[in-house]
Every structure is written in structure tokens, then in C-alpha cells.
Chain A
Amino acid sequence: MKILHQIEYKPARVIGGYTDRILRVDLSKREITIQEPPADFKNKYVGGRGYALKIIWDGTTRDTRYDSPENILVMASGPLGNEPAFPGTGKFIVATISPLTDTFIDSNIGGHFGPILKRAGFDALAVSGVSREDIVILIDGDAQTISIAAAPAYDKETDDGSLSFGENLLRDVNGGECSAYLAAVTAGKGARNVRFGIVNSLFFDVRRKRLRSKQAGRGGTGTVMRYKGLRGVVVRSSLSVVNSNNAVNREAVRQAGSRLKAVLSKCDPQQLSMATWGTTSLSEYMDKFHIFPINNYQYGQSPDSPKLFAQVFLDKYFNKKIPDGCYYGCNLACAKGAENVELTRGPKAGKMVNIDGPEYETVGAVSCMGIFDPHFVMEYNWYCDEYGIDTISTGVTISFFMECFQRGFLTADDIGYELAFGNIQAVDRLLHEIADGQGFGRIVGQGVARGKEWVARKYASRNGTSEDAITAELNKFGMEVKGLEFSMYITKESLAQQGGYGLALKGPQHDEAWLIFIDQVHKELPTLEHKANALKWFPLIRTWFNATGLCKLPWIDVRNPEAASTAEPAKNLPTLNYYVAYLNATTGSNKNLEDILDDSERLYILQKLINLRHGKGTRASDQIPWRAMGPVYFNEYEARAEYYDEWLRQQLGDDKIPASSEQRHKLLMEKRAETYQHLCDIVYQKKGFTPEGIPKRETVERFGLMDEQARQLLSELGV
């Protein structure tokens, strides 16, 4: 491998979860520097998303776009990542200015990269600049060197693939062998051609004896990585994983971890059984309650859905005997995978591959295209990972164009073929066109927001109608907010989750608030006040998980039996107490849950400021498509007319229900839209924002964020 620039360094020791070092790499200048943040930096910004927010707030401007040289790609774990005694500590954050949303995006990702980066001496890696040639970064804590090297060339097939290239790269730097001491992140050829490219996290699984992969899927972080000319980053450290955070109170860490592990062992088999089925277990429950996003979120349920239920994947694909944690010590072990699956479609037909997944989101994305073939799910999963594109955004964008075709906004001539819901052959063709940036795939690779503009132009010029009128119609079912495609849940019957998506700072990704079941099914959020409180509390606690290097699933997806006797069982506070104990035992702090929420709120407000700076922070950016609020078209209404009529009766009383079903449908949608605005009003108030969704000065000051940039921004916004 041709080394272009190299420095020697002495890896900082991890103490209390931190190394207090940030590695900065400028690819334009080929500079490598090690930054020691100020003493209060970690107290204020915590780690993970918090570090990324501060680095990007300070290092970019309102004019920075995804392809600006000054854009920064940050990868950071957090103080609680890297601890096998506690479940779910392999997470790290990949963050940048997004090609989809033009503002801050972060995506959390599992595997060993974040923990090994920390053991190699760094709390975060921040990459700026653009390299003129494809390069890789090698961070070798054992050799005590950091290098920028020319990206090795293998063969075209390998070089195009994110997984294939990553495996070759890892073997290349380790004498041909994979090792648990190394991990890598990579981006594939698809990431070069779409706005929703992903970052793959590759690590060696000693149980399956093969490389596994997890994905930072949302918002185009891989697109930025690839644009910078960065094909991969390899980290190496052979330091022991045991107590490698050098916790202040190791015994208390062990106790907190043991308590959580006991809850997971006892309760997961009685609940979602994620250790056996992974997140695919959700499909059945989503379908049962009309939440499965079939045909671009038109219908929540289908007689064909059982073909995509968890048992199908377990019987046909998953190895049943191997615990599948994406990091050491996690007994939730939900990272399922399959070996030796034959590809039957696409350019690699006939090849036997190992597949990591599918996750529920990928299953949902395939149902979104009206496809119910489990083998296609597996192939779609593998191709998207190998190409380096997001299964969610790919599926939702294809589904949007399918609905445009269904409703006559596009013709087969526009696309090149019949892109109907359920047409596997068409999707198979389009998937590879997207990755190659060819044909209609070039349009789809831009995502739903830009897709709407393209369709409106095309349709308006053909029919002599106004682009604005067409855009208004497309906005009803184009499933994006702030430029990011929705994840895979229908929100029509959950006002709280409508807010969970619409008010999410990064766009409609559920990692900020997933309230759909506790609202729609559990009925634990009966009033607007309850929903608004949840829309403040859950994003804050979830932000904390993304700042500390932790997976949320052991907390939120396995209910602690003790939660039943608490006032708000959905918060699962008895389990959260284990996390607070773990934090204090690791870092030596003496925080309670309120302190943690305050820490998170600072990060939340900072992210809001970045959104405002980039024009995505006001009420206008929190508006959701009509499809997210209810049955946009009459066919959707008719599919559940009895249910919707009963909903109207409960809201308005029998005497105000119109006689005709068309009028009832119209009234229903008006009522839903009005209620969403009321929800926004209350949530903004609770968050300390103006009615326009802008943080008040006192809110910004309260968290010590009123620097010159913030002051000027708020002045410009009239606050």
C-alpha cells in the first residue's frame, strides 16, 4: 500500500471512558493532527453526536453543503462505548452535513470500529477536505502510526463493493488474515452515485468466523465519505477489551451490567424474542396494527405480509445456534445474519454470499415497494450493503416513483419500463441502475425531495399545467421531511408519531422518537399534553444514547417487569437506572436522570441551531406529508372506511358527520391536519421555542450555547 503521509503518535490511554483526544485529518492538505479538546469539552458535549455537533457547528458555515471541502465527516463513540460488561456498547455515530437534507445528519452504527478507535487513542475522528485521489486512512494503535495511503486497487468487482473492498483492505493490512483486533468503515460505488450512500462498519465475528457488517444508513454519510475520496478507514488495537474504558468504579460497572443482562435474558424471550429473530420480529406486529408501510405507506396490512414475518427468515436463512451481538457482551444479540445465500438476480446472480440482516427496516422497505418475496429481501439487503446505499431511502424513493406511475404522473416512457408496485423485475433492474447512476436510477438516486421536483417539471411540461399544482399533489404522498425519507412505519393513526417524525431534527427517522405503539396501541398518550410531553422527553433521552456510544434497544425494546408499577411504564425507568449507574461508575460523575436529560437538551438545542443556520429549523420544515396524517386518497380511506368514520364520530359527534363518504374523507383529513398544527404549538412551547419553532434566547443561554454565531443567527431570525 502506497503511504502518502504518515505520523507517529503515542495512543492516549482511555480513562473513565475518554481518551480526551480527537483525531483531525484534512484530506485536501494531507494533514493529520491530534487535538486535545478543552477541559470542559466532554462535560458539555458528552461524546458521539454531541462531539459531532460541536465540531460541525464550529467548523462549517451556513453555505457548507455535503460536497464543500470544509464539510466534516465525524465518527465518534462515547464514554460508555467499549465495555463488554454492559450490553450494547459497540455503537458509534457517523455525522456530517447531509446531501439529502443540507443540514446536520447523524446515523448510529454498531460493530467494533468505535471501540477500537477509542482503544487506539481517540474519542472521535473528524475528516475534512477532499482528496484528489481515492485514499484510505490507517489508524494503527499497535504500530503507533496514523497514515493516509492511496486506496489499493484489487479488481473492478472488489473495488466497486463496499463489503468486498473492506474485506480485502482488512486482510491487506493484516498479512492476509481477518482479526478481531481490526475493524474498518467503507463506502461503495453506489455511494458515489446517490445522495443516500451509507457507511459500512466491518468487524470480525469470532463466532461466525467471518466479517460482519453493520450500517450507518441514514442521510448520505457514505456519499460524503466517497465524495471526499475516502474509500475506507481501518483501526487497529490489540489492547484487551476487558475494562478497556478504565472505569472509575469497575465493580459498579459490573453490577449495573449484570442487572441489565438479567432483565434481557429473562424478558426478551417473553417479548420480541430479538435474540432469536432480530428486529424482523416487528413485521408481524406492524402488520397487525396497520403500520406496515405497504405500497408507499398506502396500506398498513396485507394478506401477503406473513411471507415477510420473522419465522420465515428464521426457518430459511438465520443460523439458529449462534448468539449475534454486534459487540462483545451484548446478550440481546439481535444482529442476525445468514451464510451461503445464493443470489438469483442482478449482476452477481449465481454468487453465494454472506448476508448481515435483514433488519425490520429493510423488510419494511421491500413491502413499501409492494414486494413480499423473502429471498428478494435478502438479495436487496446484500446488494444495497455491497453498493453502499441505504435500504430505507432506496425503497421509499422507488415507492414514491411507483406511486407516481400508479397515479399517472409518470409513464413507462418516462421511466423506461413499467414501474408498478410489486414488480420485482423492474425493481431489480432499477436497483442496479441506481447504484451505477445510470438510466432512471440516476433520478431515483437523488431521493424523494428532488424526485418530486423532477416529476413536477416532467408532468407540467407534458400537460401544460403548473408545476406548483403538481408539486402540491406530490407533497401529499412523497414521504420525506427536511429531505430525508421516512423510516418504515405508517403514522396515520398515531398523532404522537406524526410529531415524532415531523419534529425530528434530522428528518423522519425513528431514532429520535418512536412513540407509535405506546400511542396507538398501548394508549399511554391519550391527550395532546401527553403526546407533547413524550415528544420532549423521548428525543432527549434518545439523544443521550447517541452521545454515549450506546445501543438503545436493550433499554427500550425489553420492558423491565418493575416498570409496570411506575407512573409511566413506557419510559422503562427501572432499566434507565442501570444506565445512570453505569455512567457514574465509568466516568466518576454523580449524575441523576435529570442531569442526563439536561446534558442532552444542550445537544438538542445545538442541533436545532445548526438546522436554523441551514434553513431547516423553523415550523415550515416540520411539516409532514398528508400521507403521514391520514388516508390521502379515497382508495386508502375506503380500505378502512368503517374505522375512519368511527374516528370522526368520536371527534365530532354523530350530528356533524357528513352524509357522503367523499365529504367524510375530506373532513377527516382537514381535522387531522388541524390537530397536527395544535400538537406543534404545544411541543414548541414545552421545548422553549417560539411558535415558529425557533429556540428563545433564554433557552439557548440556559445551555451555554449563546456564542457569537448563535447570537447573530437568532437576531436574523428576529428572536
Chain B
Amino acid sequence: MIGQAMRDQQRELTVFRNRLMLLGLAILVAFGVLLARFTWLQVVQQSYYHTLAEQNRISVVPVVPNRGLILDRNGLVLAANYSAYTLEVTPSKVASVERAIDELARVIDVSARDRRRFRKLAEESKNFESLPIRTRLTEEEVARFAVNRYRFPGFEIKARPFRSYPQGEVASHAIGYIGRINDADVKRIDAAGLTTNYKGTDHIGKLGIEGAYEKELHGITGSEQVEIDAGGRAIRSLSRNEPVSGNNLVMTLDLKLQKIAEQAFGDYKGALVAIDPRNGEVLALVSQPGFDPNLFVDGIDPQSWDALNNSPDKPLNNRALRGQYPPGSTIKPFMALAALESKKRNPEYAISDPGYFTLAGVAHRYGDWKKGGHGMVNMHKAIEVSCDTYFYGLANEMGIDLIHNYMTRFGFGSRTGIDIDGELPGLAPSQEWKMQRFHQKWYAGDTVSVGIGQGYMLATPLQLATATAILANGGRPVHPHLLEAVQDAKTREMHPVQMPQDDAQPVVKRENLDFIRAAMIDVTKPGGTAVVAFSNAPYAVAAKTGSAQVVGMKQGEKYDERRMKKEHWDNALFIAFAPADDPKIAVGIMVENGQHGGSTAAPIARQMFDYYLLGKEPAPKKAAPKPDESTPPDTAEEEHD
């Protein structure tokens, strides 16, 4: 029994020892596996993991360059930068952004507008982006937030550069604005291969000079290698590659002239372009009403956006480039020139104006603006008094295709190529165009209307100004542009913009041009349609007034503004250049529902010329004509179109 137990015990001990040895072996194997694993990680794969560790640790942060300034031709600032504190939040780091903002509103001021703007921004952005909830924080607000910071994870104060447009609405359509980069912008940036250069950049030029010269203004993004911890906080800077600021842009605009022009519009809507006919520099580009580009910089709030976008006045529409209006009688000098050039009329040829025009075999009467007509009218007088009958006949004799041919020489019907986006081409109609557009043949009656700038004919204020500049500079092509020079951000050197120097032949003959110019000078003289606006002007002005119907008129129906809605009143137009013998400025003006070019549009040109040529500033207040419906319409004959 004891022996049995002893044997059992012995056997058990053997089993135990064997198993212990076995486990010892297993231990060695296990440590062997671990050794193999460590060798694999730390010897074989070392460089791979080293790279990963460095990537973890080192973050390359883009350093955004300062955006270039925009200046007027005299160096006055139109767009500048300033640095301000913004409070930003990364929505993905916050459980409930709305609740967090409610909480935040107890610490610093968060207005309803800020909230609306933020909500819109959040909808348009990805939730891991850092979005501003408040901008332009005061030092006190920064301090107050800093104390409460622990309560707001995901919120951060950042010092950011901001764009400001110190002139507010002035020249807003020419300067444009910057806005936050949206999906469409990202696509364009990627397509242009600029993805790297836009790392860290939140804003991009959207319109006007800001949009067109984005490349010059943006600059070259620098970079900084920083050591970061797992939370993404920068611990220290390892190396830095400085950014290159964007270049400053000097615009051709004369801010003072621009302001005078805008004020001269008063409450009228409309547009105006002033060009230096010698070189195509755009001195003023007005589209009224304007808008405050500052609204767009940190994301416009929906309410302001709706107000701008849905306003019947369409303040966001750049009328100077995109408003296509019948040019009315301002087309007459060009029609006359076309007739001279094509030898369809000689200057002495005169008609007896009965106050209307009829096509052979058609009963319809094309009425002159003046009942009873102007009597005997030759070309000079036809321009001076703006005789419709004369131009009905002239157009009819030329035929639409010849008219089309000449109108295109003055730039009608195609884009002028101005250096900002959005321009529309207007319309210089032709038989071919009508067939394509309406599948209809062209009628003789269509041509008659075109003779006085009505019917199918459409032009933008920019085209009117450009065509006028061509008349002013002896018939040479004009390339209107808004950029005068680029100032290198580093060297401060000015690089004037090189315009295409096509010394192309004048599009018209000198003597014909001189004839038209003489007639246009008489427009501002006694007997002319713009005499009142230019009485006592110490310089000679060549001009043409115009008014164009906004709504069609039935046969025999009389235009009576007292019985019409104001938005159906005629548009007033005016083209002019001065001094007539050595033109330095040419304008094309369109005043919506201004009715008479001579009384509403011409005074705007007068104020501009007085300032630009004489340095005379308009007397305050009384300057602007008021579109007051109670004011009796002008009855002076020479002010009628």
C-alpha cells in the first residue's frame, strides 16, 4: 500500500518534472517568437516605422501669404488686409454645435447674424473644417474666451488676415470681392494645378479685379515644419519657408472720379463706363446700385444675401458689363459714320422730315420723336437734333448686313475683352443672326428700328464707352482694361500692364470721323440735345444723347410717362468725349428709366468731365438729379431726344 503510494508519488513527480520541462520549452519558444517580432520591427522594418514616426511628429503647416493690395491709379487703397481675431469651431469636434454656441453666447457676443452666417457656412463646408463663428473679436472678448476656454473644446481663437474694402460700395463691381473657397473653386484650383499653393488659404477672389487677378494677388504659400503632439498642438518650429506676398495691383480707376460718377447717379439705377481713349484705361466703372463687398469676406449671412439677390434693383448685376440695353439714339453717330464709310450717304444729302418715315408699300409710320418733324435735315443736323426720320431712311438704304458689318468694327455685338469676368456681348443683329436665332427672315422694318438703336440692337454701357473711345481716338481699336500696373511684392517695382499694341489701321477714314465729331460737338451747343448740361463748359465736348424704350409701343400710342409705371419709363443714354479736339476721356452712360439722355445722363458726364479735366468737384447736394415722380418732365425741346 505504501509502496503503491510511493510509486504513485514517484510517477507523479516524473510527470510533473516532464511537464515543467515542456513548459520551460514553451517559454523559450514564446520568448523566441517575441525576439523575432522585435527584430522584425526594430531591424528589418526600422526605416519604415521611422518614417511613420516622423510623419506623426512633423507637420508641414502652410504659411498663407498676404494678399496683394488693390489701389486706384493715384495710389488710394481700394482693398486692404488687416489682422483680426476670429473665434473658430471645428464642428466635428463638438457634440452639439448649436448648444455650444448658446453656451458661448453667454461669454461673448454672438449676434443673430453671426449665427445665420455660421449656419450657412456649416452647410456649405465639411465638418472637419475650422469655421469662423465670430470675427473681429476685441481684446476683451479674446480674454474672456481664454478664461472659459476649457468649457469649449473644438473652439479656438485664431489671428487671421482679413480683407477689407475701405470704400464700401464704391466701385464694388470693378473691384469685386473675395469669398470663402467653395467646391467649384476647389475644382478650378485643382484643375490649374494650384492645390499646394492654396493649402491654408480660405478665401479666393470671386469677381471683378479680385477674381480676374487672383493669381497675382494670392502670392506663394510658404510652409513651416512644426513638431506636433498627438493632439495636433504645435510644440516647436523645426524650419520655415517664408511665403511670398501677393503682388499689389494698381487699377486704372480714378477713385475720385468714380465717387463723383456714383454720386451723380443719385437714386437712379444704371451704369457708366469712362475710358481714356488714348490707351483704353477704364477711369470709372459704375453700376448702380452697388453692394458692400465687405459683406462677402467672412461669408455672407442668408438674410443679407437674399436682400441683395432678390432686390428688384439687382445690385449684384454688373450693369456696365452685363446690362444689354437698346442704345437708342446714341447709335446715330455710328450709323452716320457707317453710311459715310460705305458711301451710302454723302454729308450734304438732306431730307425733308415730315415727322415720320414709311417703307414703300407699307402703311406703318415710323414716327420721329418730334411731332411734325425737323424740316430739312442733312447728316450734321440729324445728329445734332437727333432726327429719327433721317436715320430710318439711312438704315433702310444701307441694309442690315452692311450695318452689321460696320457696327462690329466699333465693337458692337462682341465682348470688348475687358480684363474682368462676366461681360456680355450685346447684339449687332444681321440676317444670319435672325435666321439662326428665330428661324425667320429679316424684314426691312427690322432694319428701320435698328437705325435709331432700337429693335434687335443691344449694347452694354461698356460697349458704348468703348465705341465712343474709338470715335475719340481717331478710329483706332480700344482695349478697355482695369489693371494699370502690377507692383512686385518683393522688389516694390512697378510693372505696367502691356496692352496688345495692335497699330491696326483706323477702322474709319479720318475725314469722315472729323465730320461726325463736328456734328457731335454741336450736340452740346445751342440747338443740340445736350446743350443745357454743357452750358458754359470751358472745354469742347462731342456727345450724343439717347433714350430707348423699355416697353414696346403700339402704333399711334403716345409715350406719356405720367400714365406709365416708372420701371417702364424710357432709359436715358449718353455718350461723350472731351476735350473734343484732344480727347482724354470718353464715357458711355445708361440711366435706367431716366427718360431723357440730355437731362439725366448728360449732367453726370458734365460733373465727371469738370472734375477730370478741370479738377472741379461738384457742389454738394444739388448735384444729383432725383427721379422724383412729382417733378414735371423736361419739356425743353432741345433736351428731348
| B and A form one assembly | no
